[in-house]
Amino acid sequence: MVNKLQSFCFLLVLFLTANVNAQKTETGNWFLYFGNQKINDRWNWHNEVQYRNFNFAGDLEQLLMRTGIGYDLSENNNNLLLGYAYVHSEPYFAGTDEKFETDEHRIFQQFISKQQFGRVIIQHRYRVEERFLNDDFKLRFRYFLSLNVPINKKNLDKNAIYASAYNEIFLNSEQNQFDRNRLYGGIGYCFSKNIKVEAGIMSQMLADNSRAQFQIMIFNSLPF
């Protein structure tokens, strides 16, 4: 276990070093926490906090808090969820060093389905968001496809090191339908079946520009 943990920490340091060096290329950094607690055999509580920075830390881009109640249509799979999200953003005025602040409230509905083929774990997430911004309302659709592949074990059990990748596309209901696309690759470590930590690089592509984001993620599925 010690050697495996050391290997993971070494890879994490490489990611951190690459991100620090990438500050000159406008690479941002996102700290993410995802909680998914079982209430009983069918119901679950989703809880999530994302702290997003324009740089490695300290220059807030966005604070997102999301929660919801879900129900499994089948055993530990095919989850329907209704939720709410609060989003505080501090973007820069274009071409300046000055910021402005916006607040957004979201209601969202999602469906998650999981599949496993050998070691490859696949997840599909379909999400609809009703977005209430300052004096504006927007409707957005999202499709998320992720892959997790254990490297040193057959499953994501304790001490497993795994490779992770995802792609997510965002579509608006308005005339300019393409909103953004996120492409990610990283590596993770399972401290237990219920606690994972992951680090990687995500490229966020908008209609007029793109930006790299370094991500550090914690996943907690400890039941109540």
Residues forming beta bridges with residue 104, ordered by sequence position: 87
Residues of the chain where predicted confidence (pLDDT) is lower than 50: 2, 13, 15-25
Q: Is the separation of the CB atoms in 166 and 175 below 8 Å? A: no
Question: What is the pTM (predicted TM-score) of this model?
Answer: 0.87
Domain residue limits at 51: 2-220
Report helix, strand and coil shares of the chain as percent, to nearest 5: 10, 65, 25
When divided into structural domains, the chain yields a total of 1
pLDDT at 158: 95
pLDDT of residue 19: 45
Q: Residue 176's domain is classified under what CATH number?
A: 2.40.128
pLDDT for res 7 = 52
- What's the pLDDT score for residue 10? 52
State the Cα–Cα distance between residues 131 and 139, nearest whole angstrom: 6
Q: CA 59, CA 53: separation in Å to the nearest integer?
A: 5
Determine contact, residues 30/214, Cβ cutoff 8 Å.
yes
